[in-house]
Chains A and B, each alone.
Chain A
Amino acid sequence: MLEKLERPDEVRRWKGRIPVSHRYTPGVAGDVFFTALRDRGVLLGSRCDSCDYTYVPARLFCERCFAELSADAEVGPGGRLVSFTISYTGLEGEPLEQPVAIGLVRPDGADAAIVHRIVETGDEPLEIGQRMEVVVKPDEERTGSIHDIDGFRPTG
């Protein structure tokens, strides 16, 4: 029943795609988070007192105890570098002209961390645990997007 393929290029195939795209809206808590980022340039988290945990970005509910949370805990702008990587290749594996540093940063006052670019790296090598600071775009350039944050920069 199984037949060895002598000419794989002659296998009958039908090309196609799944014609969908998506529009993601950020939801109840996300709406508050992005509005505050756009209008005030701040990071909003949500604090669960009973679990002693502060989420960032803000969330509608605590996944640990299911309590409803408010998006009112301002965190940062300082923070600590939890981990980082430096990427030398793009999505298709092609080399990048300029390597990109990606960091996981825990803003001050938060228990959760945020992933974003690391900017203004300078000459010093990055170190896990070092102090960082969020860099937001100027007021007039912010639109309510994760790109309203340029990234995190080392501060020492």
Chain B
Amino acid sequence: MARRVAVVGAGMTKFVRRAQETGKELAWEASRAALDSCELTLDDVDAVCLTSAPDAFDGVHMKGEYLSDGAGAFGKPFIRTYVGGGSGVFTAIQAWYTVASGMADVVLAVAEEKMSSTQPHPQGAFLTIFDNVLERPLGPNLLWIFALEMNRYMSVYDLDKRDIAQIAVKNKRNAAGHPAALLGQSDITVEDVLGSETLAWPVQRLDVSPISDGAVAVVVASEEAARRITDRPVWIDGVGWNLDTTYWTNRDLVFPEYVANAARMAYDMAGVTEPRKQIHIAEPYDPFDYKELHHLEGLLLFEPGKAPEAARDGVLNRDGDLPSCPSGGLLGVGNPIAAAGLMKIAELYWQLRGDAGERQVPGTPERGVAQAWGDLMQVGTVVVMGRDGVSRSSGSSPPATSDTVAATSLPVVQTPPYATAGHPLSDAQFRGAVGAVDHAVDARYEWDAGVAVGRFLDGLAEGRILGRECRGCGRVLVPPRMFCERCFRATDSWVDVRHSGSVETFSICHVAWDMTPLDEPQLPAVISIDGSDGGFLHVLGEVAPDDVRVGMAVEAVWKPEVERTGSILDIAYFRPRATGD
């Protein structure tokens, strides 16, 4: 039986566009603030869990080891975890099981990101999340994947861009009172968001959280240690995590089933049976404004497609019935990727203790949920937290008076976070920094197509689109694979699928991966291929951007046979076709 586990301290640096501090120094500032907040020293820490996103961001391989001293790991059991954007919440989960298992009584969980080191743009490091053989030749950039998901979400539920933009407005306003926030703005309006530069329609500049530097740390303790450390521990009542298929073009982009699975796991553990009633405050992951809505639905707090309505009605506001991202989220506070996820755990800790100062939600919330998301848009990480007084099975019992309160006299509570570190560097200071060094990673790759995709490419050279049939689940898999990831058995046979399909979703992209403007917009789309249960990423042609619609019937336009090389580019593009063919 797992031991009961609580968060007993938290700290963070300012989130800034470019910090003077090194990654180690940021990690130390956050870690020290977290320990100071509960009057512990490094000696009290039994083990350290650290997370940070791809090594390529800081430009340091083995970033876990590199950051370990700043995270307080000298001479201690230490592990780094990494599940992309889901990492920040996951490191709290890892700290939870390190304590719940009895292996440690006090664990420091630390998340750091320093994205400003990456030149010319951190997106360069993101390019390899796309399939190297089937997708990268199309020249994708990271925004495509968000734009495609956002458009699908908007199209299926017939949402207006205003429905999405209101989330960016709410979060940037919420962040206005946050001492660590990069983009708090109390007077921003929906018109500001709708008027910002279009990057990859429907994604505009202010729909996106900024790249940032920063660190966050929380102290996690066993029940016995927690009672000793504070009279107001915030319990980790449930944890969950889950992954969807890595074939993102085969996924249901409208609803994040992996988040729902993770939420069910966490709610089960926490005894939450009616999330909308029993969860009083939410910190869903919001790197893009639509993601908050998407994730609130994945967290089973609203019916699919209904979160925008709740936002319109003010339900998600700080003083609403279910405050969402009262911290200001990634859109308002900033997005140093892994740190931003752990910031959500810290925010619940502060909110549930009533320590959030200007950001405090009214009405003494008792239980909250934090969530992050990442990898190739496929991992959901969920933590349910509650304060004393919430019974594990019912949601709305009044807080009980803890008999330990009188025993301890507490230091005066400052409004956290109170770390002063995270000193921004201007462009000139960055360019002129004494001792600065430039390095290029001189690594080149040759990615093998492998068995299934190798034959798929041979097929393209012959003007055929091949799928693989799985007789276990009856699906025809496109892109093909030699095994079915659902049935976990070898697939059975090759199938010629049609050269036609429909637009599952699309974007109109105006920028290259390094955010430089394109002369002509690109029209990336996920094409559902007729005669299969899947589809793949490609681009549209022979169509005006404004005429493209989700669900539009399209067909492949092949390069002349002599020009084909066995590449995804052997299909030049997909163009609209007359329906009824």
Q: Which residues of A contact B (CB under 8 A)?
A: 1-3, 11-31, 33-35, 38, 60-61, 63-66, 68, 144-146
Q: Which residues of A contact B490 (CB under 8 A)?
A: 1
Given contacts A12-B448, A16-B132, A18-B128, whether A63 and B434 have CB atoms under 8 Å apart is: no
Q: Which stretch in B20-28, B221-229, B402-410, B522-530 binds the other chain?
A: B20-28
Interface mask (B427-443 → A, CB under 8 Å = 1, otherwise 0): 00010011111111101
Q: Which residues of A contact B473 (CB under 8 A)?
A: none
Q: Which residues of B contact A23 (CB under 8 A)?
A: 117, 119, 430, 436-438
Question: Which of the residues B28, B125, B438, B448 comes within 8 Å of A61, measured between beta carbons?
Answer: B28
B137 to chain A, nearest CB (A): 7
- B59 near A20: Cβ-Cβ < 8 Å: yes
CA distance A145 to B438 in the complex (A): 12
- A22 near B25: Cβ-Cβ < 8 Å: no
- B433 near A26: Cβ-Cβ < 8 Å: yes
- By the criterion of a CB under 8 Å from any partner CB, how many residues of chain B are at the interface? 64
- A24 near B42: Cβ-Cβ < 8 Å: no
Q: Which residues of A contact B133 (CB under 8 A)?
A: 12, 14
CA distance A1 to B482 in the complex (A): 7
The reply on B447 being an interface residue by CB < 8 A is yes
CA distance A63 to B48 in the complex (A): 13
The reply on B566 being an interface residue by CB < 8 A is yes
- B454 near A61: Cβ-Cβ < 8 Å: no
Q: Which residues of B contact A1 (CB under 8 A)?
A: 451, 482-483, 490
Q: Which residues of B contact A (CB under 8 A)?
A: 20-22, 24-25, 28, 31-32, 35, 41-43, 56, 58-59, 69-70, 72, 74-75, 117-120, 122, 124-125, 127-128, 132-133, 136-137, 423, 425, 430, 433-441, 443-449, 451, 453-454, 457-458, 482-483, 490, 513-514, 566-567
CA distance A65 to B449 in the complex (A): 50
- Nearest-CB residue, chain A, relative to B118: A20
- B438 near A20: Cβ-Cβ < 8 Å: no
Given contacts A61-B32, A66-B28, whether A31 and B20 have CB atoms under 8 Å apart is: yes
- Nearest-CB residue, chain B, relative to A33: B435
Q: Which residues of A contact B439 (CB under 8 A)?
A: 21-22, 24
- B444 near A66: Cβ-Cβ < 8 Å: no
Q: Which 8 A-B pairs have the closest CB atoms?
A: A34-B435, A22-B59, A27-B22, A63-B69, A12-B449, A144-B434, A21-B440, A26-B435
Given contacts A1-B490, A20-B59, whether A14 and B125 have CB atoms under 8 Å apart is: no
- Nearest-CB residue, chain B, relative to A144: B434
CA distance A35 to B436 in the complex (A): 11
- B119 near A66: Cβ-Cβ < 8 Å: no
Q: Which residues of B contact A13 (CB under 8 A)?
A: 446-449
CA distance A20 to B58 in the complex (A): 11
Q: Which residues of A contact B446 (CB under 8 A)?
A: 13-15
A111 to chain B, nearest CB (A): 14
- Nearest-CB residue, chain B, relative to A26: B435
Q: Which residues of A contact B31 (CB under 8 A)?
A: 66
